[in-house]
Amino acid sequence: MTERVTVDAHDRTNKPAMPSWMREEMTYAGAGVDTAEGTRAVDGIKDVVRETYRKEVIGDLGGFGGLFSIAAAQRMKDPILVSGTDGVGTKIKVAELVGKHDTVGIDLVAMCVNDILATGAEPLFFLDYIAVGKLQAEAVAEIISGIAEGCKQAGCALIGGEMAEHPGVMAEDDYDLSGFCVGLVDRPFMLNPENVRKDDLLIGLASSGLHSNGYSLARKACIEGKTHYELRLEQEKLGGKSVQDALLTPTKIYVKSIRKVLDQFPQAVRSLAHITGGGITENLDRALPKTVNAQVRLGTWEVPPIVCHVCESARISEKEALKTFNMGLGMILTVSPLWVDDVCSLLAREGEKVFFVGTVVDGDGSVEYVNEGELYSFRKDDGGLV
C-alpha cells in the first residue's frame, strides 16, 4: 500500500527548493528565442519579397495582415476565391543534408499554386510559414529567396508570412515549411470534372523530376547508407547531375502556360489533374466524373532519369511506381478533341514538353492502364511526343 503524505500548506519549514532557473531573472532570448535575429531576418528579405508584388498589393511587410485588392472580381459574373495549402515534406531533409536551401521554397509555392490551378484559378497571393529550431537570418533569407522565385514564376504576390523559432521542440538545424495560396476564378470558366466526356484526350506535361512527393521512399532508396562523395558524384545516367542535385531539382510551376491556354481557348480544357502524392493512379481520377475512365497508355511519355533511378534503386513494381511518383508527368489535361491541336501547339510554344498519353473511355471514374510493362519504353519515333 502506498504511504500517504500529508502536507501543511502553512508550514514553510520543509518546502522544496525552487530550481535555479526560477530564482534567476529570465529573458525570451535566454529561453532560446532571439527576437533581434528575427528582426534582422525580416529586414534581410524585404527587397526580395517586394519583387513579387503585383499592383493589387496594398501596403508593405510589417503589418498584422497582408492586404490585397480584389477589385478585378467586379468584372466577373460570379467570382470564386480558391485557396490551397501544402508543404514540401521530407524533401527538406535532402536540403538539410546538402546544405542547399534556395530551391525548396520554389517547391513550396509550386505545390500550392499547381493545386489551385486545377480549378482554373489564377493564383493571386501567397503566404508562408517557416518553423526553425534556431533562427539564422542568412539561412531564412536563402529559403525566402526560393519562395519569392516561385511566386514570380507563378505570377502571385508574397504578401506575408511567419518565422517561428522552436527551441527544445526542433533541433537547431531543423526547419519545416508550409504555404498558403489564394486564387480567383469566374465560376462560368471553372474547370469541372463533370464536364469530361468519352473520347476526350489526355495530354500530359513533363515534370522536372520527382517534384515534392515520394521523398520518404526516395531518401531510403538513394541516400541512406551513401557517402557524401557518392551523393555528389555526377552520373551519366542522371544526365550529368549528381543524385543530390537531381533530388533537389525544384517542382515545375505550370501556372503561366496553362493560364494562357485557359484564356485563349476557354472551352478546350475540361479538367486538370495535378500529379502529386499518390501518383497518376490516385490523382487523375480526381479529375473525372463517375461515368468514365481515364485510359492511360504506358510508354507514351518520357520518364526522367532521377525517377528511373529511384524506382530502380527501390526495386518497386510498375504498379507501385504509378501510385507513388508522378513518373514524369506533373500535370494531365483532359482536352476536347476539337481543340487538342491548338492546345498542344500553344503549350509547346510556352516551353512545355507535351505528350499524348491516353483517352477517356466509358467507366466508373477510375484510372486504367494499357501497355502494361512498357512504362519506361518511351521512344520519340513512336509518336508519343505531341
**How far, in Å, CA of 185 to CA of 169, rounded?**
40
CA 212/CA 110 separation, integer angstroms = 9
Quote the radius of gyration of the chain (alpha carbons, Å).
25
pLDDT given at position 379: 76
Rounded Cα–Cα distance for residues 382 and 301 (Å): 10
- What's the predicted TM-score (pTM) here? 0.90
For position 135, what pLDDT does the model report? 84
The full set of domains in the chain, from first to last, is: 35-189 (3.30.1330.10), 193-382 (3.90.650.10)
Q: Which residue has the cell 505550370?
A: 254
Q: Any residues with CB less than 8 A from the CB of 160 and at least 6 apart, and which?
A: 61, 63, 65, 66, 127
What is the 3-class SS of 335-368, one letter each residue? ECCCCHHHHHHHHHHCCCCEEEEEEEEECCCCEE
Q: What is the pLDDT of residue 33?
A: 65
Backbone angles phi, psi at 333, to 5 degrees: -100, 135
Question: Where would I find the H helices in 12-120?
Answer: 20-23, 35-50, 91-98, 104-117
202/126 Cα distance (integer angstroms): 30
Cell of 71: 477589385
Using 70 as the pLDDT threshold, list the residues of the chain that sit under it.
1-24, 26-38, 41, 381-384
Instruction: Quote the pLDDT of residue 27.
Output: 62
The answer to whether 302 and 206 are in contact (CB under 8 A) is yes
C-alpha cell at 261: 491556354
In this predicted structure, what is the pLDDT of residue 15? 60
- Residue 204: is it exposed, middle or buried by C-beta count within 10 angstroms (0-12/13-18/19+)? buried
pLDDT at 63: 82
